[in-house]
Structure 1
Amino acid sequence: MSGSGTAGAVDVRGTVAEGFEQVQDAFVRNFQQRGERGAAVAVYRDGRKVVDLWSGTRDVDDDDPQGALWAVDTAQIVRSASKGVAAAVVLLLHQRGQIDLDAPVSTYWPEFKAAGKERVFVRQLLSHRAGLPVLDRPLTPAEAADGVTGPAAVAAQRPVWEPGTDHGYHAQTYSWLIGELVRRVTGRTIGRWIAEEVARPLALDFWLGLPADEAYRVGRIGPVDEPATADGGGLTLRPKRAVAEAYNDPASLSRRAFGAIAPFPDHNDAAFRAAELAGANGISTARALARFYAATIGEVDGGPRLFAPATVTLARTEESAGQDRVLVVPTRFGLGFMLHGPASPLLGPTSFGHPGRGGSLGFADPESGIALGYVTNGMRKGVTADPRAQALIRAVRSAI
């Protein structure tokens, strides 16, 4: 199926391969029942694109019937879905022999060993076990983006638990930890490395550090209403209450981790979009996110693959599991990737990827050969298991 059409008063454009029509049906229902304003979804199977759909408005706050519609090349900020792409950089450097995952971080970044961090290892940065989810002093948005203050702050920070003994989501500090590690090893910023070594060879519309000449393609994100649905976010009532309590406590690790940049940055601001925050401000199309993950597990359209089989095994291997000290729910992490589990259900046990706060998601599933990218401009409150993304995953699972 190709072209465009109206499905239940939702104007959906793009293509769907035979057998994957139910993914389009789920995409339509996201607009009809789950408050979607503008979004895109793409799916690859065994390196071949089988779903590529988009609909709605480019800007979440555009109520003008004649306003800009989501187009074939519309991109959006994907927040923490950026973390998966950043993790791939470190794994690729390991694959090339440039990073030892079991080396102390200070091997590459000598200043990092301050404040008792001599025995923090590279794999602990990736798996949220470094004990560095918070800063003693939050950074301003300008400091967070300048490429200097953030790395200096995490290098000087004392861990809040003994590294390696527990895990907790490094929501904001991940950007400076991974970004500076890559810069020290390669001499390039992580945004430049991604552009030259990943995005260009794979023809991806993905940027960490948005070029000014691409800004016209990027829509505005913002909050959307959260209608009650029967297929909620995958978390039971009790964890949701615990999360709410943690986020309402200014002294909690949850509040402080997400508040490591204060005030909260405007994700639609041009300066923020141009920054290179590896865990927070990647900008992508759904097609690029899906194609990236497809390339981690195999060739795409006969082109290059990113991960050797041994690296795929590393990506899907559990490093952290159990109650997350920041997210306050049980989470599973590999080396930088979230793994399939109750807090973030993906396609199946072999899946690895990363959601973005508010809704976006990208992942690969080596067992089935599936890779999915979902991008939205409608930000919901959850960090993981967005109901819209979950509906698409269920449809893919049913299709295969």
Structure 2
Amino acid sequence: MSDVNGVVEHGWEQVADTFRANFKEGKDLGAACCVYVDGRAVVDLWGGLADRAGNRPWVKDTIALVASTTKGATAMCAHLLVQRGQLDLDAPVTRYWPEFGAAGKEKMPVRYLLSHQAGLPYVDTPLTFEEACAWDPLVRALEVQKPLWTPGTEHLYHAMTFGFLVGEVVRRITGKSLGTFFAEEIARPLELSAWIGLPEEIEPRVAPLEVAPFPYDSPEDLVTDFARLMRLDPAVAATLVKDVYGPGSAFMKAGAVGGVTQENMHSRTYRAAEFPAANMFANAHSIARMYAATVSDVDGFRLLQPDTVAAMTVVQTDRTRMHGVPPELLPHTKNLFNMSQGFWRATPPISPLLGPASFGHPGSGGSLGAADPDSRVGFGYVTNLWAATLIDPRAIELTSAVRKCLG
């Protein structure tokens, strides 16, 4: 069993036991988990291997790619501007980004960008990997693109475009890229080891990704697991897997922007670029500390005020239909994607995260950042063994342990 290091306060041993069990059961290669309560860390653990090939251990300052957990950090940047009165979520995007108004998008409010209701889940202009990394070509493509649906009437996960859409609004308001704004306004005051656009000198701290074997022997096994996890009738699950999440669907296209692949995600080019939906590098301590600062003071610094948090966590997608779902199945999908203004809320099977009022964002591969206003908890989990399951159980089990420790 891999060594686990760090600190655990009395009363939080169940989180540590769950974290160690992930290694004992072969669920993790290298990972870290951190829990903040009332602005201080009560659990801060790391263990395993950062790099199997080099037999390099995971240490306190190891960082890893956290994929869509990045979206939570990006959303916080936007809500910091809302809190300062510089951004109105109900104003049209064109107030801040005039060129966005082409192809019938002139009246689209900013809030649709954050709630995945904009109708721009993928870019329909062919772009190279280098063009996507350069930012401007992808933004220009989004400016002229017609929405896939009437904005505000449907929703679908904007896996990669979320970061460019929200990031360009932030850039137009502040004159700074999303990664720079995050570094100056969130990472620096909180002393985070977290970057959107990784500096070259930080490269030696990165834990390379390793993808776990695909766990399903057949499509039927995948459907069975999906039905169980999402609490769906098997027939409904089979239709959704085929029509909504299957090959050629808008959902699958959403994850394939600008030729980004698992292979070039390891490249220095990708790590240095800014993909504010998907390429933050961080450790668990920083993710937990960042979320903690949205629900409590952290060393005298409060990132977001309670009224900001209350407004940004109101679910938006319960009022719209999921794109691509046959009409007869819509009632079954009502709670599959409970998205507020940039954050997941209570959604099977990750519900209730840390509590009924909690919010956060998971990332492909297994990472998770979350906070709970009621218990004033910030949570972070980072791993370099990317799960190939539909839903990763590791972070779910850890947040369950947190709830039990809270009583």
CA displacement at 1:263 relative to structure 2? 5.0
1:308 equivalent among 305, 316, 321: 305
Cα displacement string for residues 118-164 of structure 1 (whole angstroms, at most 9, x for unaligned residues): 11111110011111102223432211110111111111111011001
What amino acid does structure 2 have at the position aligned with 1:177? Answer: L
2:213 equivalent among 225, 233, 248: 225
What amino acid does structure 1 have at the position aligned with 2:45? Answer: L
What amino acid does structure 1 have at the position aligned with 2:261? Answer: F
Cα displacement string for residues 56-102 of structure 1 (whole angstroms, at most 9, x for unaligned residues): 1102xx156xx110011000010000000000111000110111110
Q: Does 1:278 align with 2:266?
A: no
Q: 1:93 to 1:156 in 2, by over 3 A?
A: same
1:112 equivalent among 100, 120, 144: 100
1:367 equivalent among 371, 374, 379: 374
Distance in 2 (CA, whole Å) between partners of 1:166 and 1:132 is 11
Contact 1:323 1:330 in 2 (8 A): no
Contact 1:293 1:363 in 2 (8 A): yes
Q: Does 1:41 align with 2:28?
A: no
Distance in 2 (CA, whole Å) between partners of 1:326 and 1:152 is 26
Aligned to 2:65: 77
Distance in 1 (CA, whole Å) between partners of 2:48 and 2:105 is 48
Contact 1:172 1:257 in 2 (8 A): yes
Contact 1:206 1:288 in 2 (8 A): yes
Q: Does 1:181 align with 2:165?
A: no
> Normalising to structure 2: TM-score of the pair?
0.89
Contact 2:31 2:381 in 1 (8 A): yes
Q: 1:247 to 1:341 in 2, by over 3 A?
A: closer
What amino acid does structure 2 have at the position aligned with 1:204? Answer: L
CA displacement at 1:399 relative to structure 2? 0.6
Distance in 1 (CA, whole Å) between partners of 2:147 and 2:84 is 30
Q: Does 1:10 align with 2:10?
A: no
Q: 1:240 to 1:271 in 2, by over 3 A?
A: farther
Distance in 2 (CA, whole Å) between partners of 1:140 and 1:382 is 29
Contact 1:42 1:374 in 2 (8 A): yes
Q: Does 1:98 align with 2:86?
A: yes
Q: 1:141 to 1:13 in 2, by over 3 A?
A: same
Q: Does 1:22 align with 2:10?
A: no
- After alignment, is 135-144 or 289-298 more displaced? 135-144
Aligned to 1:145: 133
- After alignment, is 262-271 or 167-176 more displaced? 262-271
Aligned to 2:258: 261
Contact 1:234 1:344 in 2 (8 A): no
Q: Does 1:234 align with 2:229?
A: yes
- After alignment, is 98-107 or 129-138 more displaced? 129-138
Aligned to 1:390: 396
CA displacement at 1:391 relative to structure 2? 0.9
1:342 equivalent among 339, 348, 352: 348
What amino acid does structure 1 have at the position aligned with 2:168? Answer: E
Give unpaired runs (5+ residues) of structure 1. Answer: 1-8
Aligned to 1:4: none
Aligned to 1:399: 405
CA displacement at 1:117 relative to structure 2? 0.3
Aligned to 1:5: none
CA displacement at 1:34 relative to structure 2? 5.0
2:286 equivalent among 270, 288, 294: 288
What amino acid does structure 2 have at the position aligned with 1:261? Answer: G
2:155 equivalent among 152, 167, 185: 167
Contact 2:164 2:276 in 1 (8 A): yes
Q: Does 1:352 align with 2:359?
A: yes
Distance in 1 (CA, whole Å) between partners of 2:260 and 2:95 is 33
CA displacement at 1:227 relative to structure 2? 6.0
What amino acid does structure 2 have at the position aligned with 1:355? Answer: P
What amino acid does structure 2 have at the position aligned with 1:191? Answer: G
What secondary structure does 1:251 align onto?
A: coil
Q: 1:305 to 1:216 in 2, by over 3 A?
A: same
Contact 2:271 2:279 in 1 (8 A): yes
Aligned to 1:376: 383
Q: Does 1:123 align with 2:111?
A: yes
- After alignment, is 252-261 or 279-288 more displaced? 252-261
Distance in 1 (CA, whole Å) between partners of 2:145 and 2:24 is 47
How many residue pairs get aligned? The number is 385
CA displacement at 1:326 relative to structure 2? 7.4
Q: 1:344 to 1:152 in 2, by over 3 A?
A: farther
Aligned to 1:320: 317
Distance in 2 (CA, whole Å) between partners of 1:53 and 1:30 is 13
Give unpaired runs (5+ residues) of structure 2. Answer: 217-224, 326-332
Cα displacement string for residues 231-257 of structure 1 (whole angstroms, at most 9, x for unaligned residues): 998324736644542477443111111
State the superposition RMSD in angstroms.
2.2
Cα displacement string for residues 23-44 of structure 1 (whole angstroms, at most 9, x for unaligned residues): 0110111122252111000000
Contact 1:338 1:354 in 2 (8 A): yes
Aligned to 1:3: none
What secondary structure does 1:90 align onto?
A: helix
